[in-house]
A and B are shown apart, each in its own frame.
Chain A
Amino acid sequence: MNLLDLLLLLSLLTVVLMYFYGHRREAGWLGVAAYAIQLLVLIKLYSYMQSDRIIVAHLSFSVMEHILIWGMTGLGWFFAVISLGAALFASWYTAGEWQDTQKNMRLQHIVLSLNVFAMLILLCSQDFITLFIGWELVSWASFFMMTHSGGKAAKAAYRYLIYAMSGAVALFAALVLIMVKLGSTSFSVFWAALPTLPDSFLWLLVVLFFIGFSIKMAILPFHLWQADAYAETPGANASFLSAISARMGLFALALVLLQPVGIERLQHLMMPLFTFVDARTLLAWIAALTAIIPTYIALQQSDARLLLAWHGIGQGGLMLLGITVGTPLGVAGGLLHAFNYATYQGALFLAVTAVLHRTGTTDLDRLGGLITRMPWSYVVLLLGIIGLAGLPPMNGFVSKWLIYKSLLDQGMPLLLVAASISTLGTILSVYKLIHNIFLGQLRKAHYEVKEAPWSMVLPMLILAVIGFITGLMPGLALSLVDKAQMALGYDALPHHLGGLEWKTGSLNMLWVVGILIYGIAIGAVVFYLFGGRSHKTHQWDNYAGGHFLSAEVPYHYSHNFYPGVMRVIGGWFRHQTLNVEMGIRHFVQWSAELCCRLSQVAHPTLYMLMLAVAALAFVG
């Protein structure tokens, strides 16, 4: 029994444990312990992760002349670290007071452990069949996670299910086509054959893989399902889902198609009719559009969870963009962004859930001024949104910097502009998030609100601090990324603790953060030593335009944020994709009704006669 066997076994045991003990109050702590042990095993595996080494589990089946094996490479390992970390913090969050507000905590524990297990199985896949099995397991596990709380969540999950099944079907087709064409389902045979596959066949595969994997990631035009489904999931699990679940698509796409040999081939794969566009450019632009459009949809949301979930989709686009650049810098940027995003998105979702826990709402029109009541949650949210917006000193800056740099190096300035537009949207909307929840006037109803309990604050705070530390010392996270990158077949980045040395410009976050703190310190010194007299006022003691405003006059400006921006971009949002989805739905409904009517006839013998005539005509 090697370490990987141990890991899978432990993960399975966690599911069993949660099944029997999930109803106990201490189940959250049990989860923390279980995920921590698994994480330790993973850390132990770190030294095994060399560029082309696979650690193979003893789990193996021989089915229909295919031998199914599971094994872990650096890429799977990297994503496994993120998933276990996300599960650890989600479980920690549920360990305290929060679980009292949940009516089905046992189920939540079970689905969380089930999701982790399914993801580990997927991340260990070694050929297309095991990939498909893992893929289906993950899809159904996350469906279970989204649907179990019922009501609106179940509705969103049902929509996800239809999308996920479409993706699974596309993947199934790709799997069988590869098997029939190449006579084998192993990845290495596929990669070896990739350079010589005929264009038409490869286009088919690229489209099928893209549909299959990007539905999970909610890449355009399959982005509609995700935000609702994630936002409606109960808080802790929502943070897990949004931190890592969608990234499984990124993992699979990178694993199957975006190795160096794949990128190389995609660059020579010209689009039919539009022969000046190759497949990689197309993919990069789809990724860029995914980074932009959902971000601006996020800007329009008036619910904090929906806003965050829509951002998740946009950030996924950025990660894909980084990987499609296909240089060590870009791939490192994309993968690092997956890690960084997991830290701050997890923290953000948990912080918003803390607000929900205390105030009972995440409606951005019904909050405000909570900074005095929930200071720690404010700090977490602040650190989180700095990361999301990609500003120093948080880690989001580093990965975005890597992606931008790689776009510049590769001579793709237009994509860089697109990525910047997305970042602009992010900055605008995260400001809306923090302003509407924490800044401005405190609502009278929230006057008695207290800070969330430490059992909730601590995990999210630690996540945010991890985000800060990996921002200050990106070398820590980059050494994880190295493993994944080398497993994919790219060179590792020459990095050090503070950043990296690169021929066209280096980055040292220790310096960047140092100067930032230095600047702030000078400002603080000036403010406190040489500033004028100040006196503290009550939050409600406000004047606006010379008018005294009492608590009875709500003036917290939250509704219809950014009307100017919306006026400009509003015309672009005409629900095109939604219309297509509705169209398909109605078409299926209509044809289903037709078929049902067709089979309800009073004279079935007439059909028989028609069939006889048609069949005789056919053979005649």
Chain B
Amino acid sequence: MMGPILLIILPFLGAFLLPIIYRHYNQAGYWAAPVVLVISLVICIGLWHGVNIVGPQSLVMGGVSAPLGIVFYVDALSILFVLVLLVGSLILWLGAWHRRIKEEMLLLLMVGGGSGLVLSGDLFNIYVFFEIVAVASYGLSASRRGDPCGYAASLRFLLLGSLGSAFILLGIAIIYALTGTLNLSHLAMLAPQALHGMAGLSAFALMLIGFAVKAELFPVNTWVAEVYAHAPVRISALLAGIVSKLAIIVVLRLLLLLYAHEQAYMLLLCIGVAGLITGELAAFYAKDLRRMLAYSSIGQLSVIAIAFSIPGTLGVVSGLALALHHALVKTGLFMLTEKWKGSISSLQGMAHSAKWPSVLLIIFALSLIGVPPLPGFWAKFLLFKAGFSAGGGYSYAMLLILLSIIIEAAYFFRVIHLLYQTPAASSTPLIPRNKELQPMLVISGLLLLVMLTIDPIYHHLSKIATQVVDVQAYIDHTLPAWKSTH
């Protein structure tokens, strides 16, 4: 079965061939990238279906079996996030890319890299794919010329990101020095003895810092607001909504497989709590809609990190629910800001000329705050259930999240309040173009669909969570040869 390889190869191939296709067949070039994505999506859905029926599968590359060879591991979690990545980038394709070849190429690279990132079964490949995603995102965030602020922001992003990658590499090196292997399942077997010491945990800390740059965790998230405020909205939506989730999923994998250790959980919890406080408060202060959304996504990702730091399936389920919900909603919210950038006060009274975008903003905001019966409520419900069940420090973290809900409501409804005021006399109506609304409509449709199917989704997520938490199954699948010895 070649499915997982195709998921990675096809976008890469598309990216490399895109300039050639454009040169020779302009019209075909315009459709090439979406077609690649659609084919990937079909493969992905096929794999998803397969995983649901027969359970996780692993794929060995190059004829050398694990732990020496390259391993791809397809389980419900990884395939789910590949699906999210593909669907997300397809939805963002709706509307306009206007033959921006470079952006399309970089986006395909990002899709391929992202798929590889979640599917990889060894640390080295994770690092490689992470770098690909990172480089693509630096390129994307600086892809529009003529905006010096955007350039400066992406340069800062680049500096921070590459330093983060260096930290990841350092962490991987430490692990390799300690254990002599980089295969995740092999490491999972060795972890309790080899990695739960000081050196092993410091490797986790270093890797966490590296991934935290992409996952917008405190305090290496200072790039977020600037980059999102100046990058094209689609890029902001993609980075905030989806790419950040991939990074945090990798952290979850590492945490579950290698570092099911109290200190690792606590470290993630502390970082999450600090990010929650600073992110939400900064969003409260922000005077610009895009920056507000950016800070809000810092806060939300911190909440997801807190959820993942709760040991056990409950924490994983709630984290997954929050991640998926945030991927939907934040993508939608960013798509709103194509026209609505700059100071919030310039939005006064815009609801009168742009009725539907305002209504969509309200729906997304309500769901993000967590108002029943919208999906956001159920995600938060799961989170609090997990957090209060875990007790101890987690209860205080939950308390902070509860307080942050009030602040979220305050800053979102300050904007909405402004939208529905009488327009200022001198203002020109900023009506988002219909083309920009298409992705948003799709996303809000998805949101309502999720609302109606909460129960099946919850059961599916619980299934995923139990699968992910089961380390032994992971080892058995990827190292079948070693099954007998253990």
Listed in ascending order, the chain A residues whose CB lies under 8 Å from chain B are: 61-64, 132-133, 136-137, 140, 147, 150-151, 154, 158, 161-162, 165-166, 168-170, 172-173, 176-177, 179-180, 588-589, 591-596, 598-601, 604-605, 607-608, 610-612, 615-616, 618-620
Contact = CB atoms under 8 A, between A and B. Distances in A.
A179 B385 contact: yes
Given A588-B407, A612-B209, A599 B202 contact: no
B285 A619 contact: no
16 contacts: A137-B372, A161-B409, A161-B410, A165-B406, A170-B402, A172-B380, A173-B402, A176-B381, A592-B281, A596-B285, A598-B278, A604-B160, A604-B220, A607-B219, A616-B205, A618-B266
A596 B164 contact: no
Contacts of A594: 281
Contact of A595 (B159, B201, B282, B409): B282
A608 B378 contact: no
Nearest to A618: B267
B420 interface: yes
A596 B281 contact: yes
> What are the 5 closest A-B residue pairs judged by CB atoms, nearest first?
A592-B285, A619-B201, A615-B205, A595-B281, A596-B285
A176 B385 contact: yes
Contacts of A154: 417, 420-421
Interface in B345-387: 366, 369-373, 377-378, 380-382, 384-385
A601 B388 contact: no
B136 to A, nearest CB: 20
Contacts of B405: 165, 168-169, 172
Given A599-B278, A604-B156, A133 B220 contact: no
Contacts of B409: 161-162, 165
Given A608-B164, A611-B209, A612-B209, A180 B388 contact: yes
A589 B163 CA distance: 33
Given A133-B373, A599-B225, A611-B220, A605 B159 contact: yes
A64 B455 contact: yes
A63 B381 CA distance: 11
Given A64-B382, A611-B219, 5 more contacts: A61-B455, A604-B222, A607-B219, A615-B202, A615-B208
Given A162-B409, A169-B405, A604-B159, A615 B209 contact: yes
B455 A63 contact: yes
Interface of B: 156, 159-160, 163-164, 167, 198, 201-202, 204-206, 208-209, 212-213, 218-225, 263-264, 266-267, 270-271, 277-279, 281-282, 284-286, 295, 366, 369-373, 377-378, 380-382, 384-385, 388-389, 398-399, 402-403, 405-407, 409-410, 413-414, 417, 420-422, 454-455, 458
Contact of A607 (B220, B225, B266, B282): B220
A64 B205 contact: no
B454 to A, nearest CB: 5
Secondary structure type dominating chain A contacts: helix
Most buried by B among A173, A177, A611: A611
A132 B286 CA distance: 31
B208 A591 contact: no
A132 B206 contact: no
B26 to A, nearest CB: 41
A600 B285 CA distance: 12
A81 B212 CA distance: 55
B285 A593 contact: yes
Contacts of A616: 202, 205-206
A499 to B, nearest CB: 44
B284 to A, nearest CB: 4
B212 to A, nearest CB: 8
Contacts of B285: 589, 592-593, 595-596
Contacts of B279: 595
A608 B160 contact: yes
Nearest to A170: B402
A592 B284 contact: yes
Given A136-B371, A169-B406, A604-B156, A615 B267 contact: yes
A600 B156 CA distance: 12
Nearest to B421: A150
A619 B204 contact: yes
B163 A605 contact: yes
Given A63-B455, A133-B373, A140-B371, A596 B282 contact: yes
Contacts of B417: 147, 154, 158
B159 A132 contact: no
Contacts of B421: 150-151, 154
B420 to A, nearest CB: 7
A619 B267 contact: yes
A519 B422 CA distance: 57
Contact of A599 (B206, B221, B371, B398): B221
Contacts of B455: 61-64
A591 B280 CA distance: 11
A64 B454 contact: yes
Contacts of B223: 604
Contact of A588 (B164, B284, B385): B284
Contacts of B281: 588, 591-592, 594-596
Nearest to A161: B413
A610 B205 contact: no
A162 B406 contact: yes
Contacts of A605: 159-160, 163
Nearest to A163: B406
B35 to A, nearest CB: 39
A500 B388 CA distance: 49
A232 to B, nearest CB: 14
Nearest to A133: B372
Most buried by A among B212, B371, B407: B371
A63 B452 CA distance: 10
Contacts of A604: 156, 159-160, 220, 222-223
Nearest to B224: A599
A138 to B, nearest CB: 12
B406 A612 contact: no
